[in-house]
Structure 1
Amino acid sequence: MKRALLLAAACAALSPFAASAQTLSSGPVVGAGNTLLSISAEGKSVRTPDLAVFSAGVTTQGKTAGEALSENAQRMTAVIAALRKAGIAERDIQTSNLSVNPVYGQPKRLPDGSFEQTDPVIIGYQATNQVSVRQRKLDQYGKVIDTLVSAGANQVNGPAFQIDSPDGAMDEARLAAMSKARARADLYAKAAGLRVVRVLSISENGGWAPPPAPPPMFARADMASAPKASPVAAGELEMTVTVNVSYELAQ
């Protein structure tokens, strides 16, 4: 009985080392005399965008914060109403920025060209309200922007063209990447007098992401006299996927 207990204790003490050994050997293992080949390949697919994301808003100034914000609220209400009238759904309009900031006067320039060293003086306040908009009818995008400017928007940022449901295009790029990886593996194997036995591991790097929006563009007062529909070209979007595949090669 005592011997059995000692044997059980010894097995318990060794079990953590056994688990550790299993963890260390969890990577790809090739057969004796075989070769490990790692391939990185890129696949692409091209789609026409079906979504344009942009922001529009109003910036106003006043002697007090309340004055600037009050005028801003009035003009922004008209801008949002114009979006709804243009057919933009409620779910596609989201406030992205609402802020009130002081406006400081410029320091007095001295005769020697330097500026007078005084504490900044607040001469007014600036209120900004912006909404992020998803435009689903791309052929109406230019018309919507012109309508917003006419309604009082003096800030326009975008568009960033996107694909509403990119999964299908991404899967197409994945298949292309895997096909390219296998063709490249066969090429290397043939050159080395070997053959591809099996796939050991597959991993994916990165993927498609919506392009960043361009910096804000402030609408000028004379934009109200612009053409009825500003020209917009959506072009194409390219989805890219990179896969890393490990193969086992043998004679």
Structure 2
Amino acid sequence: MRLSSLAAWFLAAFTLSSAHAQEAVGGNAAGPGTSVLTVRGAGSFEQPPDYGRFEVNVVTREKTLEAAVAAHEKRASAAITALRSFEPAGVGIEKSRFRLDEERPVAYPSSYYPGHQPPPKLSATPFTATTTFTLKVTSIADLNKTMSRIAETGLFQIQSVTFKVENERAALLEARRAAMTDARQQARVYTEAADLTLLEITTITDGEASPSEVGQADMPRSARFIQLVPPAKVSFGASVRVTWRIAPR
């Protein structure tokens, strides 16, 4: 009786070990023992930019917090009026944000060793109020002229520009379509070279999809004349991971 129980135990242990071994060798999304091929496809799509997006700052510096806020209110109001005057040229205010900063003295020891630099003096206007406007300029052809006219008002510090398309989602979908086409082409090359056949897709995993930053530029704060060359195309990239079940021909 004890021998029979022991033999049954060994048989069960062997069967369980064999099942685990098969699962470890062939385990995947298509099921145990199935041969699969996994490929990562990459694709891109390009189209001309529809508009430029600029960030500009209006900055006011004063001796006190109250003076900075009061002066900046007038300066920001004048900036809004100026920007709205450019609406016929295709300039729109997308959003704005406001912040207050204070320059504080740095603590230094009371005495200095010979050759050490003295501590920097505190600015006479330690309080800074800043309003940042995000502008959308729809006329690409007149972009340089329009932004130069905005800079000439003397109210703005032009920070950066990027070039965009209106329907980014549609462009990203085209990039994803190209990525899937690339994955199929790669899979066909592998299976033809190995004399195999693609059966059906078992998994599709979406990868990254995003626009490039082509055309982005940082502008000097003192710029009064803008001369940018908009990119001919804005590119979008995407990737996808695809798994096929495969079999011999």
TM-score (norm: length of structure 2): 0.74
CA gap of 1:242–1:39, structure 2 versus 1, over 3 A, is same
The 5 A counterparts of 1:68-217 are 68-87=68-87, 92-96=93-97, 98-104=98-104, 112-115=114-117, 123-124=124-125, 125-209=127-211, 211=213, 214-215=217-218, 217=220
The count of aligned residue pairs is: 216
| Identical-pair percentage | 19
Deviations 1:190-223 (A, max 9, x none): 1111110111111111111463965563125xx3
The root-mean-square deviation of aligned C-alpha atoms, in Å, is: 3.2
TM-score (norm: length of structure 1): 0.73
Gap regions ≥5 residues in structure 1: 1-25
| In 1: Cα distance, 2:87 partner to 2:208 partner | 35
The aligned residue for residue 62 of structure 2 is 62
CA gap of 1:92–1:128, structure 2 versus 1, over 3 A, is closer
8 Å contact from structure 2 (residues 92, 135) kept in 1: no
| In 1: Cα distance, 2:137 partner to 2:91 partner | 11
The aligned residue for residue 238 of structure 1 is 235
The aligned residue for residue 10 of structure 1 is none
User: Offset at 1:45?
Assistant: 0.8
CA gap of 1:149–1:157, structure 2 versus 1, over 3 A, is same
Q: Which residue type is aligned with residue 181 of structure 1?
A: A
| In 2: Cα distance, 1:48 partner to 1:146 partner | 23
| In 1: Cα distance, 2:47 partner to 2:168 partner | 9
